[in-house]
Structure 1
Amino acid sequence: MKVKICGITDVDSAHVAVQAGADALGFVFAKSKRQIRPEQAKQIIEVLPKEIEKVGVFVNEDPQVIESIVHSCGLTMIQLHGEESPDQCQGYSLPIIKAFGMSEKQDLVNTQLYLNDYLLLDSPKGAYQGGNGVRFDWSLLTKWNSNKKLILAGGLTPENVREAIEVTQPYMVDVSSGVETDGKKDHEKIKAFIQNAKGA
């Protein structure tokens, strides 16, 4: 099982995640309590192993701004977490992960309009587009077949990630607030989350 630790803002947390077996790290460039400046992200990315996916998270951002940050930071994937249309998810230099908030079956139907290979299914948006620590109804995904690579997010924790994987059978699980304590990345929770996800 592949694991993405999102909302990375410091080198120590990045190293802990990588050493614990994370496959991808997420850097949030949109307005968020985990927002990071491009120059900060670049400093972290420069010391990461080549094989780790470095995902930039953007919300309704100008494509030229995204591409500028991609090239200045050394990102390897782009996550679009806003209301981007299918057309607005095309034409980038890197693979696109399109995120969707899930509240009903129709939300799954809407994902079929998008041609991107990666779909991230998250809880419905709250104060921010993601990272709200709320899980959606995983049973929405039963009997749902897609040729997309499904990334499961929203309210995942070290305690529930095994169950989430068993129910939804995703390509990857993605966590942010679920491995934090008092709003900061908790290194022990990161290790536990990755261990439990990989062991599922």
Structure 2
Amino acid sequence: MTMTRVKICGLTREQDIDAAVASGADSVGFVFYEPSPRAVSIEQARKLVARVPAFVTVTGLFVNPEIEFVKAVLEAVPLDLLQFHGDETAAFCASFGRRWIKAIRVRESGQIEQAFAVYSKASGLLVDAWDPDRYGGTGQSFNWQLIPEKRPLPLILAGGLSSDNVARAIENVRPWAVDVSGGVELSKGKKDATKLSEFFKEVHRVCKID
């Protein structure tokens, strides 16, 4: 099976950056959304990103942001990829001259196919669990059978993943990448090095190429 890439999201501490990178993270994510318990300030993010080595993608997560706020982050923090997790239009997502992915909260059949069409210029589509009050970080999974076989864009699976279910998720969904936050935490915003190690062990186990 092709190697599934891994993004560790919601990083807030230097030691967690180090642990995620040491475990083999392909991408690290920083949340620029104040209501989130995993939110970081621009200054915090700038310091944290300085610890990220070459070839690890730095992703900035936004939820229905003002244009000026995204620009302010980009001026101060060297982001490689933008992740929009709210109700942003495709035109808005594409307006910053950076690669971007769009997250959608899945609750019904046909929703993912529609998103593939609407956000066709994205670098990937992230599918997460639906919650009427929260944009991601719910710790809940969703019905993976709603994910279509035909995928015009790379599909990133999020929502309630942990070392307990990531192998099954990869076998069933065969996503381009998985995105985890709460499933590798001690508490919200604080990652656990052991849980990170166990998560990657499961990913590598199921993706082992014969």
| TM exceeding 0.5 | yes
**Contact 1:156-1:175 within 8 A present in 2 as well:** yes
- Describe how 1:99-178 pairs up with structure 2 within 5 A: 99-111=103-115, 112-115=117-120, 116-141=122-147, 143-178=148-183
**Match of 1:191?**
197
Q: Distance in 2 between matches of 1:134 and 1:89?
A: 26
Deviating 4+ runs (over 6 angstroms): none
Match of 1:36 among 18, 40, 46: 40
**Contact 1:56-1:70 within 8 A present in 2 as well:** no
**Contact 1:4-1:26 within 8 A present in 2 as well:** yes
C-alpha change, 1:126 and 1:13, in structure 2 (3 Å) is farther
Q: 1:19-49: per-residue Cα shift (whole Å, max 9, x none)?
A: 1100000000112010001111111111210
Q: Which runs of 5+ in 2 are unaligned?
A: none
1:11 shift after superposition: 0.4
1:90 equivalent to 2:94? Answer: yes
**Residues 88-97 or 116-125, more deviating:** 88-97
Instruction: Count the aligned residue pairs.
Output: 199
**Contact 1:149-1:170 within 8 A present in 2 as well:** yes
Q: Distance in 2 between matches of 1:182 and 1:87?
A: 36
User: SS where residue 178 of structure 1 aligns?
Assistant: helix
**Residues 118-127 or 40-49, more deviating:** 118-127
**TM-score between the two structures when normalised by the length of structure 1:** 0.95
Letter in 1 for 2:20: A
Q: Distance in 2 between matches of 1:198 and 1:44?
A: 26
1:125 shift after superposition: 2.6
**TM-score between the two structures when normalised by the length of structure 2:** 0.90
- Measured on the aligned residues, the alpha-carbon RMSD in Å equals 1.3
**Match of 1:7?**
10
**Match of 1:47?**
51
1:86 shift after superposition: 2.2
1:104 shift after superposition: 1.3
Q: Distance in 2 between matches of 1:101 and 1:110?
A: 12
1:110 shift after superposition: 2.3
**Contact 1:6-1:27 within 8 A present in 2 as well:** yes
Letter in 1 for 2:15: D
Q: 1:122-167: per-residue Cα shift (whole Å, max 9, x none)?
A: 00035420111000101112x5301201110000011100000111
Percent identity over paired residues: 35
